[in-house]
Structure formats: C-alpha cells, structure tokens
Amino acid sequence: MRKNIVAGNWKMNTTLQEGVALAKAVNEALKGVEPKCDVIIAAPFTHLASINGVIDQNKLGLGAENCADHKSGAYTGEVSASMVASTGATYVILGHSERRQYYGETSATLKEKVGLALANNLTPIFCIGEVLEQRENGTYLEVVKTQIEEALFDLSAEDFSKIILAYEPVWAIGTGKTATDDQAEEMHAFIRDVIAKKYGNEVAENTSILYGGSCKPTNAKALFAKPNVDGGLIGGASLDAESFMGIVTAF
C-alpha cells in the first residue's frame, strides 16, 4: 500500500538557528501524536547536518531541496547528492517549479539529478505541475504527462517505485489560490493512470502522489480525503510548527 506523506518545503527561509529551532519544535510536537502519515521536512543545505542532530528520523524524515546534476568536481557552488546523503538527509526535492522557472532546470538536467539521488539512496520528491496559461488553455494534463515521461520514464520499475511525486499547479504555489479538491483529484487520478500504462497497476497503486500549492490546515482535510491524493508538499504553512502539525493531523 502506498504511504500517506506530509512534507514541508522550507524553500529559502530561516537562518540556521531558526531552522534548527523549527525542526526541534516539529520533532517535539510529533512526540505527542501518532500521525497517520509519514512526516518529512526539507530544509536548506546549510541546515541539514545540524537538524539531523536534533530530530528523531524514525518519526521525522529529513530532505534537501535540490542536488546537483553532476557527481562531483569543478561545479562551484553546487551541492552533490552524495554530499546531501552525508548530512544524514534521506530525501531530496527535485524539479520544483521555482527551480524550473528561475534556474532553468529542464527534464534533461532533472533526469541526471534523479539518477544521482537514487544512486546515493536519497528518495526524490519529484515535482510536476502546469502554469496558469496551460491550465486555462486545457493542455495541463498533457504538460504534466510530458514532465513525468521526460524525466522519469527511463527508470526501471524498481527505481521508479522509489519516487514520491508531488503535483504542484504553479498558479497555486504561494498564491493562496489552492486547486479545488476535484481539480487535484482529476490530475492525481490521471497521473496514476499514466504510471499504470507504463509500469503496471501495482507500481501505480503504490506510488505516493502529494498535492502542493497553498495547502493549509483549513483545506488539507478535504484534499487528503480524495482517493488519489496521498498527502501534501507544504511551503508557507510548513514554516510554523503549529500550522504544519495542523496539516499532518488532517489525515
């Protein structure tokens, strides 16, 4: 059975000290509950090793927000998948729309990153999603299908099974404009069907597909109630332990 997952994406927020305090607060809050989902936080590279020292990774998974598309070498400023793994983090967000939009990440670079993440035993949280224009002109299903096919469909079924997907309509990220439950469900069911056609029903049924984009404690319950929505990738609302926990306990 596929897992329910709530993952926080801190983006470029918090100093090291603030990030460690936030991680501690989430870790502490989790002690009092038995969540019906896996809980993950993805933090800036600079914070990972320190956070690893203050959380119980049996209850709270730790991830990076990116990794390089090369193994090692003369790539000033980049952080490799093996460096991420050496901090104790076990997840990595890849293909976030902000990386695609502002840093020119393409399916070709993402394919390299996914391969390197898997080779270093990191679980990719792979993001896909359409921009507003594609939602409005009706190409959104095709756009997302292509993003998945180009970056992931050269993987073996075994490797594909290690991937967590996150559908994040770009028009919903940080805008306060959440996709409706039905819009999310339509896309998630479609994605599962695309996976089933390539890898078969069993792999498709076991793939966790998270929703992301202005997910909050107030709308998480209805989104997570949809049969193909297996949790959330949470930006803004993950920067406060209480609101993040409000989403975790929505399951």
Residues at the contact surface with ligand PGA, assessed by CB under 6 A = 9, 168, 173-174, 212-215, 233-237
The residue nearest ligand PGA at its CB is 235
Q: How far is the CB of 181 from ligand PGA (least distance, A)?
A: 16
96 part of the active site: yes
Q: Which residue, 130 or 168, has its beta carbon nearer to ligand PGA?
A: 168
Min dist CB 222 to ligand PGA, Å, is 16
Active-site entry in 96, 105, 130, 188: 96
> Which entry of 98, 105, 130, 168 is annotated as an active-site residue?
168
Residue 150 a catalytic site member: no
Our CB check for ligand PGA shows the closer of 23 and 204 to be 23
In the bound state with ligand PGA, the residue whose beta carbon lies nearer, of 60 and 173, is 173
Residue nearer to ligand PGA on the CB measure, 199 or 244: 244
HEC per residue, the chain: CCCCEEEEECCCCCCHHHHHHHHHHHHHHHHCCCCCCEEEEECCHHHHHHHHCCCCCCCCEEEECCCCCCCCCCCCCCCCHHHHHHCCCCEEEECCHHHHHHCCCCHHHHHHHHHHHHHCCCEEEEEECCCHHHHHCCCHHHHHHHHHHHHHCCCCHHHHCCCEEEECCHHHCCCCCCCCHHHHHHHHHHHHHHHHHHHCHHHHHHCCEEEECCCCHHHHHHHHCCCCCCEEEECHHHCCHHHHHHHHCCC
Annotated catalytic residues are: 96, 168
